[in-house]
Amino acid sequence: MTIHVERGPRNIVVTQGNNALEARRQALVAGAHELRTRTLADQASTAAVAALAAANYFDTLERALASTPEGASFTTTDPAVALNEGEANTSETLRSCIRTNEAPYYRWLGPAADPASRADVERADAKAAFAVGKTSMTIRPDDLNLDFTLQDALDNADLVVLHDPQGSGFALDVGLQLPVSRPITLMSHPRGRASIRATAQMDALITQADTNLIIGTGLQGLHLDCNDFAAHGLVIQRGKAWIIDDIDVTGFLDTGMILGKDGASGAYCYEHQISRLTIDGGIAKAQAGTHPKRGIGFLDGATDNKLWAPVVSYVSDYGIDNSSGGNNCIASAHVYGPCDYSFVAGGECEFIGCFADTPRIAGYLITGERTQIIGGKVFANIGALGYTPEAEAFRFDMPHQITIIGVRLRNLGYDFNAIAPSDTSTVFGLAYSAVTTVSSRRNWAGQSIRTSGAYGAEFRAGSPAGQRASMILHDENDKSLWRLGKDNSSVSGNNSGADFDFDSYDDTGAFLATPLSMTRTGTVQVMGTYSAPFRLGALRMWNNSGVIYVKQGSNPTSAVDGTALGPTT
Amino acid sequence: MTPSINLTSYRHADWGGSDGSEIVAFLGEDLTQAHFAWSFADRAGGNVLLTLEATTEGLQGLVARYEPDYVHPVSGAVVGATLLIPQIDRETLLALDTPGETGADIVLFHTLYLTRDSGLKHAEFAGNFRIMQGAPN
């Protein structure tokens, strides 16, 4: 290939060709272009100047002057451009100028030569982008009227910036396939959020299973308007370590965002970092009872993903459904609106500081193994949504090794249960601590762990030898009143030690007495002093130095205020 | 305005050289006393992997030669030209790191700089330099 470089009076002609004939042809084209630019720009009178100038757009006047030869035209929105009357281009209107050889080294060509809009420039850029191997593109909705689509942009550019200053949105009549040959970044222009709007039935923005495993695609600052057409907004069946940030999905018919795929075949979707998702099922739909099924779904093949601070509202069945995914971590999530289950916890997932807000049936449906629920709260604002919730905090369906720590339960239903297994569920290995309830019609006393069918229920508390394992009942200020459980005597053989105590506390919360205790071999002991006698109906009975006394009807006033039954000395 | 020019080479073959067809013709100028430097980086603004500078004919680098009888490709007039002949040896191309994907091209970013006697340094053109894998030999 021969490249010809010719420096004429402030112009450059570059030709490329495999032979002289091809070089001549390209040179003619380029030469004609340069000639036309100079001639028409000097006349400064036709729209053709604007078109030619628009092809040479610069962000700043300084860059334009540094890059434009004398006699050639350019455009810029720089407010520093001086207009005829001397005022500056404060409106930042796109201005056509010609490069001169005298200070200030440019001249505004006048309003007739100004391109109609900035879009003209960007369309010109977009048209040329693929041909010159651009790796990034900025696209406006108007650009989609050209001979390429948004899909073309994703298929060719590594960085696609959607710029929608008019807010008209990017219309989609088929689902937008994220590339499976390389990672890309799809994002909104920093000056405004762009909307991708479905106009036909589809899944809006997707990758499918059984494709290349692409690492590191980025999605940022997008509004996916499913527009009551698309079943799902964002669907990622295959990918690794994507950065997904600040996405909101509305108008979907089924699920706002899906990671993985039902059945898992070919789906590998893991190690994504997902933040600031907003999934809105639509309050109007919710009131009409036609809201979509699910906010976010972690399905088969979705593992080791981190989901930070999502907000899901007004879906019918599941807010964040992790029934199939494994080892996912969901933090600071807020699910509100009357869905059946705010969260569904499958295998080995973590919910940290999540807020189950107004669930219909339960805050958490726990179906897998080794789930951890740490902090956060379950809340049902009775009546606020026009229904009476019968919410449980945690509904278990065949789980085990579950840890629930420090969750705040508030305003749940009248007969709600903190923990409620399904009819066929066996719960074991549950660590459940520091769960508080506030403002419920029933507090802890009204709650229970219950089972049904052929399954029993157990509370378990274990401690090493010499240490108590107890349940303490206290007042609303945590002042102890009663303690019952294993005492602090060690097992010492012959079934002795580790006896059962029933202790009481005084008004200050200090230990008072042990009214009742029993050994494991069956010996029962009560206090039995005259001030704390053992009662059989109205009969008081106590021990006074080896003599049993009884008294009917009222408490004794001294150790001998009764009838001595013996033994006598 | 610095033109964008994309170039192509093959990994198992020399690129350019006096027997090749990769020639830059500066029409109407004798630039044999100027300094040329042709940089090849892993990306625009990235690490420079290779720089071609003045050398003797047949070796890797740049050879600038003025031909007073060179014909203008458009007008047909004899205008003379400085012919800049680049050469990259195949050993150099083979030594470049290959992408992880088998058969994938290596795409570098190139810029040709011209420094005149006045000290002014200009970028003549820039663009992608695509190294095709081809069939190994």
By CA distance, what is B23's nearest residue in A? A2
Interface test with B, best of A2, A5, A38 (most B CBs within 10 A): A5
Q: What is the mean pLDDT of residues A280-295?
A: 76
B30/A contact by beta carbon, under 8 A = no
Asked whether residue A430 carries a pLDDT value surpassing 80, the answer given is no
Q: What is the mean pLDDT of residues A93-98?
A: 80
Would the CB atoms of A15 and B6 count as touching at under 8 Å?
no
Would the CB atoms of A3 and B25 count as touching at under 8 Å?
yes
- Asked if A117 and A144 touch (Cβ cutoff 8 Å), the reply is no
Q: Identify the structural domains of chain A with CATH numbers, from first to last.
A: 2-116 (no CATH), 204-446 (2.160.20.10), 465-526 (no CATH), 528-569 (no CATH)
Asked whether residue A310 carries a pLDDT value surpassing 60, the answer given is yes
* Residues contacting residue B92 through CB under 8 Å, at least 6 positions apart: B50, B60
Range in A70-74, A350-354, A538-542 with the lowest mean pLDDT: A70-74
- Residues A353-411 have pLDDT tens digits of 999 988 888 888 888 788 888 888 888 765 555 555 566 788 877 667 778 787 777 76
* pLDDT for residue A416: 58
Would the CB atoms of B74 and A27 count as touching at under 8 Å?
yes
CATH architecture of B7-132: Sandwich (2.60)
Range in A124-128, A130-134, A440-444 with the lowest mean pLDDT: A440-444
A114-118, A425-429, A473-477 — which one is most confidently predicted on average?
A473-477
B22/A contact by beta carbon, under 8 A = yes
Interface test with A, best of B21, B22, B31, B74 (most A CBs within 10 A): B74
**Low-confidence spans in chain B with pLDDT less than 50:** none
Range in A6-20, A186-200, B76-90 with the lowest mean pLDDT: A6-20
Query: Structural domain boundaries of chain B?
Result: 7-132
Which long-range contacts link B70-77 to residues 24+ away (Cβ below 8 Å)? B70/B25, B70/B27, B72/A6, B72/B27, B72/B28, B73/A4, B73/A15, B73/A20, B73/A23, B73/A24, B73/A27, B73/B27, B74/A13, B74/A24, B74/A27, B74/A28, B74/A31
List CB contacts (< 8 A) between A2 and chain B.
21, 23-25
User: For chain A, first and last CA: distance in Å?
Assistant: 129
d(Cα A121, Cα A140) in Å, to the nearest integer? 11
List CB contacts (< 8 A) between A67 and chain B.
1-2
Asked whether residue A172 carries a pLDDT value surpassing 50, the answer given is yes
